[in-house]
Each structure stands twice: as structure tokens, then as C-alpha cells.
């Protein structure tokens, strides 16, 4: 234990000497190790912890993983300061975005169609930043509930695997996890290059406000100014995507898939896990997240399909990636939430057919069973066959 403590102290001292570029390089070097962990994974918990480690690396979420791979609230003041700094940085960029909308644009018919994609792009970042602030405030609001539902899912799966259940993770779960890791890894690099090459184009909101930018294609400013803005964009991207991925992949996808695993014969634990999930996703979290994802998908598809010939290539690539990610979230991730209902309906139907010759008490008990619905928030939002 003493040797381990000395290694941790040395690591922390070394981390304090790191520059931001060196820390970012170390982050990308760990990407291959995380992919190897996914290839050897035999449980949802193992796969999910790869994403958790990636999202908690920025240390803006007030959570931490202990030695037993359980998540607990992090009450450190340093983490609180980092979270407040992240929220303040995003709020400042939100103010700059709103200030950009107040600048009068050309009313000529030639520029109306061309300038529309700029307004949509700024709206896209506006929705992303508002969603990130909401996610950071939400995890401040219910940190114990978040840790409880994740640890309950972890314990439930371990207990289920320990009873002889085969360790198998479906391909869709690994695919969504890989998409999350690739997004949180590649997005900061893309933002760094875009901010450095185009200091007058989003997401370079600070240089857009400070430098004499007449058009988004201008490249004013010295090397140091553009480098600082690029690092700020990288930090903002890490905060935005780590918060989003933690909410959708870890806090939403993971408990639902564990519910599917425990569906057979563990109804009480499923109901308890559903109640814990409701507490972690209190209103108005779910309608807000669903609305943001649908809005981002609609704006991205609109720009890609209607303005692809008028926008720069980096912006087109950004919109294409955003459209693909949100499409996968809507068509696959949201649809997974309906599986507990459809599977439980099939289970109850099969049980009723098999108990036609059973005792009266058994038949009455099976008839009284209702399908399992994944209620989120205050219980009014549920995922069933219609939602899927």
C-alpha cells in the first residue's frame, strides 16, 4: 500500500508539471489502451467504466471511481472549483453567442440564404452549451442519486454474473461505446485545428470578439493568440462532450441495459433500479435531453442537405458528424429504452400461455403482472412500443 501511495504522489506531482499540450498528448495515448479493454470486455460494467474513466478525466463532474470500481460523489473543493470554472467559461461563450445574434446582418436577398447556415451553426453551439450547463448543474443537484443508480447497476450485474450467467456484451453496446470514445477523443482535436486555422469562425468565440474579424474566413491575430484560443476550444470540447457522453452513455444506456439483463426472474430489483433511475433523471432532464438531441439532429441535417455547397469544408464535416451521432442516438439509443417493455410483454404472454393448466393462485399472479416500463423523471415519460 505504501508503494502504491508513493506512486500516486509521484504521479500527481508529475501531473502538476505537465503543460496542457502534454496532458492532451497523454490523453490520446490512453485511447489505444481503452480500445483493448473493450475487446476483452465480458460485462456491461467493464465496458461502461472505460467511458467513465474518459469522461471523469476532465474532472468537471463531482464523481470519482474508488479501488473497487464503484462510483462515489467527490466532495473535493478542487473539483467544485473546476466545475464552477467550466460552467463560467461556457456561460461566457453563451453571452458571446447571444451578442453575435444582435449584430445586424445584410438584408440583401443574395446573402440571406448564405448567412442562414451561420445562424444555424451558432444556434447549434447555443443548444450544446445550454445542454452542457444543464448537465453540470444536474449532477450537482443529484450526485448521490447518480452514484447510487450506477453502483446498484454495477452490483446487480456482478451478482447476476456470479450466479453462472454467461459473460457476453452485445455488439450494439460495444458499438455505442466505441462511438462515444471516438467522439470524446476526436472532437477536441478537430476543434483545436479549426480554432487555430479559423480564429474568426466558431468555436473561436473569444477571438471572434477580440480580433478585428470582418468575415469568418479572416485569419488575423498572432500565433500565440490563436494557440491560446485553440487550447480553450479543446478544453470546452472536452467539457461539453464528456458531460454529454456521461449523461447519455453512462447514466442512461448502462442502467437500461442492466435492466434488460436482469429482466428474467428479478422483477423487484428491476423496479428498484427503475426507481433509482427516476431519481437520477428528475424533471425536466429527460424532455430537455430528448428535445436538444432532436433539435441538433434537425439543424445538422438541414445544413448538410440544403447548404453543403455554400459552407466551408470543416463546417460541413462538423455538421455531418453531428448528424450521424444524433441519428444513432435517436434511432438506436432511444429505441433501446423500449426493450424492457417489449421483452416483459413477451415474457408475460409466454407465462400466461404456459400456466393454462396451473393452479388458480399462479394464474391470478401472472395475470396481475404488468409490463415493465422505463419511467424517467417524474414517471410521466415512459418508453414503450409507441415511443420506439
Give the three-state DSSP class for 64: strand
What does DSSP assign to residue 311? S
Tell me what pLDDT residue 26 has.
Answer: 56
Question: Among the residues of the chain, which ranges form H helices?
Answer: 2-17, 20-39, 44-55, 77-102, 109-141, 143-162, 171-197, 205-210, 223-245, 254-261, 267-280, 285-306, 313-328, 334-336, 339-354, 360-368
**C-beta of residue 174 within 8 angstroms of C-beta of residue 41:** yes
Domain ranges of the chain: 2-336, 344-388
DSSP state of 253: I
Residues in contact with 259: Cβ distance below 8 Å, sequence separation at least 6, in sequence order: 270, 273, 274, 340, 372, 374
Say what the pLDDT of residue 127 is: 92
**DSSP secondary structure letters along 8-30:** HHHHHHHHHH--HHHHHHHHHHH
C-alpha cell at 117: 447556415
> Which cell numbers in the block locate residue 378?
417524474
- 169, 86 in Cβ contact below 8 A? no
- Of 190, 188, 372, nearest to 274 (Cα)? 372
Tens of pLDDT, residue by residue, the chain (388 residues)? 333 333 433 444 444 444 444 544 555 555 555 555 554 556 888 888 889 988 888 888 888 888 777 888 888 888 888 889 999 999 999 999 998 887 655 555 545 455 688 888 889 999 999 999 999 999 888 889 999 999 999 888 888 876 655 567 888 888 899 999 988 888 888 889 988 888 888 888 888 888 888 888 888 878 888 889 999 999 999 999 999 999 999 998 999 888 888 775 556 677 777 778 878 888 788 889 989 999 999 999 988 888 888 888 888 888 898 999 999 999 888 888 777 777 777 777 777 776 666 666 666 666 666 666 655 555 555 555 444 4
Q: Which residues contact 232 (CB under 8 A, 6 or more apart)?
A: 89, 195, 206
What per-residue confidence (pLDDT) applies to 13?
Answer: 42
pLDDT at residue 327 in the model = 93
Give the CA distances from residue 324 to residues 3, 178, 202, 274, 311, in Å, rounded to whole numbers and listed in that order.
46, 14, 20, 29, 18
Give CA angle at 142 (141, 144), nearest 5°.
140
Taking the C-alpha atoms of residue 250 and residue 234, their distance in angstroms, rounded to an integer, is 22
pTM assigned to the model? 0.72
Cα dihedral: 124, 90, 55, 333 (round 10): -30
Length of the chain: 388
Question: In whole angstroms, how far apart are CA 230 and each of 55, 104, 108, 130?
Answer: 20, 27, 34, 21
Provide the pLDDT for residue 295: 93
For 91-113, give the DSSP string. HHHHHHHHHHHHS----SHHHHH
In whole angstroms, give the CA distance from residue 61 to residue 244.
11
pLDDT for res 8: 35
* CA gap 300, 121 in Å, rounded: 8
Amino acid at each position: 500500500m505504501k508503494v502504491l501511495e508513493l506512486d500516486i504522489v509521484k504521479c500527481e506531482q508529475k501531473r502538476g508539471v505537465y503543460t496542457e499540450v502534454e496532458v492532451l498528448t497523454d490523453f490520446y495515448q490512453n485511447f489505444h489502451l481503452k480500445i483493448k479493454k473493450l475487446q476483452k470486455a465480458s460485462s456491461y460494467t467493464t465496458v461502461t467504466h472505460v467511458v467513465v474513466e474518459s469522461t471523469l478525466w476532465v474532472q468537471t463532474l463531482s464523481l470519482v471511481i474508488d479501488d473497487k470500481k464503484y462510483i462515489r460523489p467527490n466532495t473535493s473543493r478542487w473539483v467544485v472549483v473546476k466545475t464552477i470554472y467550466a460552467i463560467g467559461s461556457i456561460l461566457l461563450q453563451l453571452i458571446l453567442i447571444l451578442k453575435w445574434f444582435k449584430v445586424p446582418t445584410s438584408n440583401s436577398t443574395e446573402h440571406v440564404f448564405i448567412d442562414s447556415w451561420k445562424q444555424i451553426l451558432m444556434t447549434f453551439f447555443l443548444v450544446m452549451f445550454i445542454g452542457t450547463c444543464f448537465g453540470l448543474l444536474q449532477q450537482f443537484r443529484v450526485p448521490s442519486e447518480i452514484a447510487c443508480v450506477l453502483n446498484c447497476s454495477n452490483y446487480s450485474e456482478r451478482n447476476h454474473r456470479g450466479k453462472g450467467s454467461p459473460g457476453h456484451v452485445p455488439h450494439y453496446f460495444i458499438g455505442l461505446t466505441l462511438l462515444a470514445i471516438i467522439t470524446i477523443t476526436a472532437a477536441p482535436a478537430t476543434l483545436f485545428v479549426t480554432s487555430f486555422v479559423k480564429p474568426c469562425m466558431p468555436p473561436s468565440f473569444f477571438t471572434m470578439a477580440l480580433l478585428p474579424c470582418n468575415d469568418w474566413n479572416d485569419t488575423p491575430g498572432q500565433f500565440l493568440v490563436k494557440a491560446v484560443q485553440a487550447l480553450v476550444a479543446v478544453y470546452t470540447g472536452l467539457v461539453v462532450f464528456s458531460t454529454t457522453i456521461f449523461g447519455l452513455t453512462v447514466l442512461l444506456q448502462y442502467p437500461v441495459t442492466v435492466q434488460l439483463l436482469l429482466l428474467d426472474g428479478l422483477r423487484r430489483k428491476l423496479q428498484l433500479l427503475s426507481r433509482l433511475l427516476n431519481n437520477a433523471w428528475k424533471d425536466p432532464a429527460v424532455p430537455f435531453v430528448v428535445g436538444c438531441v432532436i433539435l441538433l439532429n434537425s439543424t445538422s441535417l438541414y445544413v448538410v442537405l440544403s447548404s453543403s455547397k455554400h459552407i466551408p469544408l470543416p463546417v460541413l464535416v462538423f455538421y455531418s458528424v453531428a448528424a450521424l451521432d444524433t441519428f444513432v442516438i435517436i434511432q438506436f439509443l432511444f429505441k433501446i429504452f423500449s426493450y424492457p417493455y417489449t421483452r416483459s410483454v413477451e415474457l408475460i404472454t409466454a407465462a400466461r400461455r404456459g400456466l393454462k393448466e396451473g393452479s388458480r393462485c399462479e394464474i391470478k399472479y401472472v395475470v396481475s403482472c404488468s409490463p415493465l416500463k422505463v419511467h424517467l423523471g417524474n414517471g410521466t415519460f415512459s418508453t414503450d412500443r409507441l415511443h420506439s
